[in-house]
Structure 1
Amino acid sequence: MTPGPPHPLSGLRALLASAAFARAYALTALTAVFGALAIERIAGIVTIATIISGLVLIGLAMLVARRAEYSLVRLAPTTLAVFVAWLLATVAWTGDPTSTLVSWLSLAGIAVIAVVVALVRDTIQTVRALGDVMRFLLSLSLGLEILSGIIFDTPLDFLGIQGRITDFGPIQGLFGTRNLLGFVTVIALITFLIEFRTLSVHSSVAIYSVVLGGVTATLTDSPTVFVVAVAVALATAALVVVRNAPRERRSALQWVLAVAVIVGVVAGYALRGPIVRLLGAGTDFSLRTDLWAALVPVVRFRPVQGWGWFGPWVPSEFPFNAINFALKQNHASALNAYLDVLLQAGWAGLLLFLAFTGVALVRAWLDASQRRSVVYAWTPLILVALLVDSLFESFTLSGFGWFLLVLCAVRAGQSRSWRERMDPPMPPGRSGLPSGGIAPGGQGPDGPAR
């Protein structure tokens, strides 16, 4: 008997489930979320909204095509789902339900894309994709700064580039502000160094990448870059110590490190004045403390539920317009992710956010300290960068910051979660890793690819 004709959708299903399509999706998603500001300024907000919406729909179609590889309960961490659900609930009491719903849809859309990337690509594949995107965007940023500051000697106002590279900064590149560009370079340097250690790229590419990131970070002249870089360096040193310690001593060492972090945070707060003067960041810090002082009384009117979720501030909405009017400033955020969550989602939202980020960091840290491959250090180091930067900016609540936070949380939850105890084992011959294999020169689940 002759076989019947193939199902019309079988080819599309095979394409959506293929490793090549997963790689293309990851590269496209990373380029879109990291280049969102430049895309919006060049082509408009409708364009970037359409791109994000398209990526969400394609990502959901990929999950449907790969539905045999995942169980519903393991798609995303519970803490993420509860936090996002609480932000949606703020629509019930916000002053502008339409704006809150639109902001929530933007947040949820980026979260869906991050979940898809985390599920269809393993850690080394994610690092490789992010490294490629970072090399492109930082090279383009530096090239535009040279074009603006040296060749044309005029600002590129439509991109927010001031053309001050001949003064050794600050530069903004494709990211609009020096602090945002500086934060991107820290993320990029972590990724480049992991690529170098895992031999994922040629040594010449690795050296170019690290030099590019270092030069760009220096030219941003951002004080927050130094603070985040120091925090990441200390976390790296601590992780190296833990990974090299005998297995029977690691638990005690982890507790010692936890106490050291608490003491360090308390000491940093107590010595914040001298630290700020040492960094030469008095103006930036004064700007933030004035903003935070004006924000706290507003929180007291709605301490539990907050004023409704908006993400980046809407200047015409209360209480943002009242805070800016009192300060005679035009802030677009609280310049502190934790205070922004407190203002917009209340203490309930802040506790959920701390649970979400804290659980993710602990899972990622424990996983990295026990695995042989250095590639697993990428997740906790990125989380450290995100959470430390959240003390000075609100980048982690939108755009690529939120994307990375969700991506790392999902990645950490895949290997250390209560779901491992309740999910049935994978069928014989099936891998727990996303399909697509191992990138050339990359890492397998526990060590270098052979």
Structure 2
Amino acid sequence: MAAYSKHPASAPPAAPVRETTGHLMMRAWCIFVLFMALSGTAWVNAFGTPATTVITIGGGVLSIVLWIVIRPPVQWRRLPWFVVAYVLWATLSLLWSAWVSSTALTLLLLYITTIQALFIGSVLTWREVVRALASALKWALGLSLVFELWVSVFVGAPILPGFVVEKADDPIEYWSRNNLFDWGERIQGIMGSANLLGPVALLATVVFAIRYAAGAPRRTLLAGWIALSAFLFFRASSATAYVAAVGVAIVLVTVLLMRRARRPGERTKYYVGYAVIALGGAVTLWLLRGEIFTALGRSSDLTGRESIWAAVLERAAQRPVVGWGYATPWVPWDPAFDGWIIDHDQTVMQAHNMWVDVFLQLGIIGLVIMGLTYLAATWRSWFFAVDRPRWDLREDRPYSPLSLLPTLTIAILLVQGLAESSPLLGWGWLLLVLFGYKIKQSPHVGVGPAEQSVAIERGELTKQVP
């Protein structure tokens, strides 16, 4: 029988360190939280508002309990303070809100979304965050395709929320319009809206492409997911998502050019070119919006959005400093919103512009705080992407493809926010807070206490989780 020497030249062989079951379960929970945010109104359409409310609140409570039990390393001085200021200002609006019940209800959703973002950023490393986000996007897109396929093959007719097969007064009421095999029509996925499916499909394309570039395993399968996300992006046919895709392409090209700079002043020409293209593109988009949106099958007033903006701004001008009170989204059964703005015989639940929405709810003060929030997140994510990783004298470390994700995601949110209020809630707000917090806690991928902690990477702290 073989025996080890009393004087071995190396350590005896041992099984590789593996993550504990608790850590795997915790990461699966993070994937579920991200999926809930990405799928959005799918939960309401499938299970109704009361059940969705219970699931959302229960999820927030569970994450708080896990956070207390796991106790991940957190640098409390490096919180995203503009996010904290926005949440505090929204809470203070209870004192003067014209719709107190709506403010209280939607504040609860804001608290839960913010806590979930901070929780995920605390217990997962950068690589795990991207991996979990990719998994959640696979579930959202995969179920969207299966759902549309089920409606077209087995139901054969449009369906309403709650899986009701019944003719609607207006197509906007349908959860699915049974358009999967009609190539000239848009599909809506499990979200029930092409304008929600399009940006999610675009985000998925970005995330999957970044994982592919980072050398993730099973790259052939990953290429298939990229193809699926591109297919759903095309079939959603969201004009806002198309414009966001152009913005993502511009930001990506600029970042890659910035990374090639070798001298301190070499980036200046790229910044000038980027500013000229961005401003020129914005002016062109506005002046030629009629021709552009007509070519995309939309009206020149962004499908009625200009009339919505006019109505919202008229009310916002009555309380320009502090606003009317936080309410994201607008609660349709509240008398203040019920029947205020009607589109396709439905009460509108948002201003279809996040800046106009914030101005209505929280006034100029809230608008400034939100602007600073996005400015800080954009600034940090930009240099997170363009600056070479460096924390000592070594200056030749390679860039990580993962560092591209925050700045490309914020580009999507900024463009989407021009025609939708979605970035103020759901996955938009969650990812804004998550990336802003994660960059401040871990400014380098794989480096720092929150990244290289053995307890986090190997799941040792999760052993005590029941």
Q: Same fold (TM over 0.5)?
A: yes
CA gap of 1:283–1:152, structure 2 versus 1, over 3 A, is: farther
Secondary structure of the residue aligned to 2:457 is coil
Aligned equivalent of 1:11: none
Checking the alignment, whether the CA contact within 8 Å between 2:291 and 2:300 is kept in structure 1 is no
Higher helix fraction: Structure 1 or Structure 2?
1
Aligned equivalent of 2:8: none
1:340 aligned to which of 348, 357, 366: 357
Checking the alignment, whether the CA contact within 8 Å between 1:383 and 1:408 is kept in structure 2 is no
Checking the alignment, whether the CA contact within 8 Å between 1:298 and 1:319 is kept in structure 2 is no
Secondary structure of the residue aligned to 1:245 is coil
Aligned equivalent of 1:133: 136
Unaligned runs of 5+ in 1: 1-14, 418-424, 440-450
Aligned equivalent of 2:286: 269
Report the alpha carbon displacement of residue 299 of structure 1 after superposing the two structures with TM.
1.1
CA gap of 1:324–1:303, structure 2 versus 1, over 3 A, is: same
Q: Is 1:240 the equivalent of 2:243?
A: no
Q: Which amino acid aligns with 1:206?
A: L
Q: Which amino acid aligns with 2:245?
A: A
Aligned equivalent of 2:392: none
Report the alpha carbon displacement of residue 52 of structure 1 after superposing the two structures with TM.
2.4
1:97 aligned to which of 94, 100, 104: 100
Aligned equivalent of 1:400: 427
Secondary structure of the residue aligned to 2:215 is coil
Report the alpha carbon displacement of residue 341 of structure 1 after superposing the two structures with TM.
0.7
Report the alpha carbon displacement of residue 264 of structure 1 after superposing the two structures with TM.
3.4
For residues 438 and 26 of structure 1, what CA distance do their matches in structure 2 show? 16
Checking the alignment, whether the CA contact within 8 Å between 2:442 and 2:451 is kept in structure 1 is no
For residues 170 and 373 of structure 1, what CA distance do their matches in structure 2 show? 36
For residues 209 and 61 of structure 1, what CA distance do their matches in structure 2 show? 34
* TM-score for the superposition, normalised by structure 2: 0.82
User: For structure 1, which segment, 148-157 or 356-365, has the greater mean C-alpha deviation from structure 2 after superposition?
Assistant: 148-157
For residues 243 and 55 of structure 1, what CA distance do their matches in structure 2 show? 40
Q: Which amino acid aligns with 1:342?
A: F
Checking the alignment, whether the CA contact within 8 Å between 2:352 and 2:421 is kept in structure 1 is yes
| Aligned CA-pair RMSD | 2.8
Q: Which has the larger radius of gyration?
A: 2
CA gap of 1:139–1:325, structure 2 versus 1, over 3 A, is: closer
Q: Is 1:164 the equivalent of 2:179?
A: yes
Report the alpha carbon displacement of residue 38 of structure 1 after superposing the two structures with TM.
2.1
Please list, as runs of the form range in 1=range in 2, the aligned pairs for 1:341-360 lying within 5 A after superposition.
341-360=358-377
Residues 45-76 of structure 1 deviation map (CA, whole Å, 9 limit, x = unaligned): 233223222332232233333446223223x3
User: For structure 1, which segment, 335-344 or 21-30, has the greater mean C-alpha deviation from structure 2 after superposition?
Assistant: 21-30
Aligned equivalent of 2:441: 414
Q: Is 1:52 the equivalent of 2:79?
A: no
* TM-score for the superposition, normalised by structure 1: 0.84
Aligned equivalent of 2:43: 39
Unaligned runs of 5+ in 2: 1-18, 164-174, 389-398, 460-466
Poorly superposed stretches of 4+, deviation over 6 Å? none
For residues 203 and 335 of structure 1, what CA distance do their matches in structure 2 show? 38
Q: Which amino acid aligns with 1:280?
A: G
User: For structure 1, which segment, 112-121 or 28-37, has the greater mean C-alpha deviation from structure 2 after superposition?
Assistant: 28-37
For residues 95 and 178 of structure 1, what CA distance do their matches in structure 2 show? 32
Q: Is 1:84 the equivalent of 2:66?
A: no
CA gap of 1:55–1:314, structure 2 versus 1, over 3 A, is: closer
Q: Is 1:62 the equivalent of 2:82?
A: no
Report the alpha carbon displacement of residue 336 of structure 1 after superposing the two structures with TM.
0.9
Q: Is 1:205 the equivalent of 2:221?
A: yes
Q: Which amino acid aligns with 1:170?
A: R
Higher RCO (C-alpha 8 Å, min separation 6): 2
User: For structure 1, which segment, 270-279 or 140-149, has the greater mean C-alpha deviation from structure 2 after superposition?
Assistant: 270-279
